[in-house]
Homo-oligomer: A and B are copies of this chain.
Amino acid sequence: MIETGATPHPTGSAFLLAQLGGHAAERFAERIAAQDLTPAQAGVLRLVGREPALSQRDLAARLGASPSRVVALVDGLEHRSLLSRTRSEHDRRVHELRLTADGQRVLSVLAAVARAHDDEICGALDPEERHQLRDLLGKVADSLGFVPGVHPGYRHL
């Protein structure tokens, strides 16, 4: 992985943000590798867990990925019995995605992993500072149009 960026950190936070974000993503990937999951797969479980009966097309939009990519992602998770595809009764073209009982178990493990991950990343901050950081990041995210669970590029669909 290559760190992008400009000068060390003169006045700006954007470079530091990209650096830390990259590190956080990398560490999270390492952690979930223990459950044999990639970040993309974890994203699928998270989104399907939140929105049962999601179609592959809508999932692709929320992930910011192509529909063909979702096929492979769902194939793998279905093969491991973590989620199921069922044809919609209203429109037999669409596949409704749902977590299996195993899938829900894995999802709750992922939530615990995320908490531990968060403690690792923010461990240097006291509770008040963590709260401040979350508020500031939330403000930035809002201003950039981030909607939880929806890829920014598709937030208008």
Could you tell me how many residues of chain A have their Cβ less than 8 Å away from some Cβ of chain B? 66
Residues in B with CB closer than 8 Å to A65 are: 1-2
Judge if A95 is at the interface, Cβ distance under 8 Å.
Answer: no
Number of copies: 2
For chain A, residues 37 to 65, give those with C-beta under 8 angstroms from any C-beta of chain B: 39-40, 42-43, 46, 63-65
Judge if A85 is at the interface, Cβ distance under 8 Å.
Answer: no
**Complex CA–CA separation, A50 to B148 (angstroms):** 39
Using CB atoms and an 8 Å cutoff, list the residues of chain A in contact with chain B: 1-9, 11-25, 28-29, 39-40, 42-43, 46, 63-65, 110-111, 113-115, 117-118, 120-125, 129-130, 132-134, 136-144, 146, 148-149, 151-152
Nearest CB to that of A152 among chain B residues?
Answer: B23
Residues in B with CB closer than 8 Å to A148 are: 8-9
Q: Is the CB of B140 within 8 A of A136?
A: no
Residues in B with CB closer than 8 Å to A24 are: 14-15, 17-18, 21
Residues in B with CB closer than 8 Å to A39 are: 2, 4-5
Q: What is the distance, in angstroms, from A133's C-beta to the closest C-beta of chain B?
A: 5
